[in-house]
Amino acid sequence: MKKLVVITGASSGIGEATAKLLSSMGHPLLLLARRVERMEVLNLPNTICRKVDILDTKTFQQAITEAEEKFGDVDCLVNNAGVMLLGDSTTQDISEWNQMIDVNIKGLLNGIHLVLNKMVKRNCGTIINISSVAGRKTFSDHAIYCGTKFAVHSISDAIRKEVSASNVRVSIIAPGVVETELLSHTTDKGIVDGYKEWKDNMGEALTSENIASAVDYIYHLPQSVCVREVLIAPTKQPD
């Protein structure tokens, strides 16, 4: 059997597409998200689906322990779960800022914390953090989202250096616009409408499967090759 891959935020979008692709390649999987029924319905073989909020380190750890007992040590973590709550910084509720900081930074760090030490001890492992083009440049109404994704870049790069001698890879995928449910959580209707108009005028967005292919590419290169970052956007996305 191939090695165990953990995917956070596998109940929709990029995480779901990555789960389907890696499962079709024979990997046992641990899929984590709050909407567990959305993962169970995929009915993937050798797959454990657990209702885990990535901010809850206890259930996050329990799920990893359970999967490792069944399938062996985690070989790859796809740190994908995230939220994008676009807003005008002068009016946006601070709870939305905190939610993005919690999920996109602290939740991602929880995942790293739970697997990194063991990977270093084993001298093998891969962590793929899903960031965004908004982790490389700023956009209006994206101030806090950009802040969280810029943090993903700096944290990933610094940890990559720390664990490089231990043969552990830390990679970043920074997508442009992907057609998923991500925008649906933004509460400001005017911003949602403006974003949709911008997206529609641009033309074809990326698909979740496009990003899953990037995960496959990064992960299945030899362990001696670390793709540090993939910045991938629709051809017609100018920014």
For position 180 contacting ligand NDP by CB under 6 A, the verdict is yes
Which of residues 5, 6, 13, 218 is near ligand NDP by CB under 6 A? Answer: 13
- Are 53 and 27 contacting, i.e. CB atoms less than 8 angstroms apart? no
In the beta sheet, which residues pair with residue 167? none
Nearer to ligand NDP, 106 or 122 (CB): 106
* Amino acid present at 99: Q
The encoded tokens of residue 212 equal 């899953």
For position 63 contacting ligand NDP by CB under 6 A, the verdict is no
Residue carrying structure tokens 């969280």: 148
- In which order are the strands placed within the sheet that holds 125-130? 47-51, 29-33, 4-8, 74-79, 125-130, 168-175, 229-232
3-state SS of 66-109? HHHHHHCCEEEEEECCCCCCCCCCCCCCHHHHHHHHHHHHHHHH
Q: Which stretch binds ligand NDP (CB under 6 A): 27-35, 119-127, 160-168, 222-230?
A: 27-35
Which of residues 20, 42, 46, 55 is near ligand NDP by CB under 6 A? Answer: 55
- Are 5 and 32 contacting, i.e. CB atoms less than 8 angstroms apart? no
In the beta sheet, which residues pair with residue 31? 7, 49
Those residues whose C-beta lies under 8 Å from the C-beta of residue 117, and which sit 6 or more positions away, are: none
Which of residues 40, 53, 188, 209 is near ligand NDP by CB under 6 A? Answer: 53
For position 130 contacting ligand NDP by CB under 6 A, the verdict is yes
For position 18 contacting ligand NDP by CB under 6 A, the verdict is no
Q: Is 217 among the residues known to form the active site?
A: no
Q: How many CB atoms lie within 10 A of CB 50?
A: 18
Write the DSSP symbol of residue 206. Answer: B
Nearer to ligand NDP, 171 or 180 (CB): 180
For position 81 contacting ligand NDP by CB under 6 A, the verdict is yes
For position 103 contacting ligand NDP by CB under 6 A, the verdict is yes
Please work out the total of residues on this chain that contact ligand NDP, with binding judged by CB under 6 A.
Answer: 28
For position 239 contacting ligand NDP by CB under 6 A, the verdict is no
- Three-class SS of residue 4? strand
Which of residues 71, 76, 82, 170 is near ligand NDP by CB under 6 A? Answer: 82
Nearer to ligand NDP, 122 or 199 (CB): 199
For position 234 contacting ligand NDP by CB under 6 A, the verdict is no
The minimum distance between CB 202 and ligand NDP, in angstroms, equals: 12
d(CA 11, CA 80): 11
The minimum distance between CB 34 and ligand NDP, in angstroms, equals: 3
Catalytic residue ranges: 145
Which parts of this chain interact with ligand NDP (CB under 6 A)? Answer: 8-9, 11-15, 33-35, 53-55, 80-84, 103, 107, 130, 132, 175, 177-178, 180-182
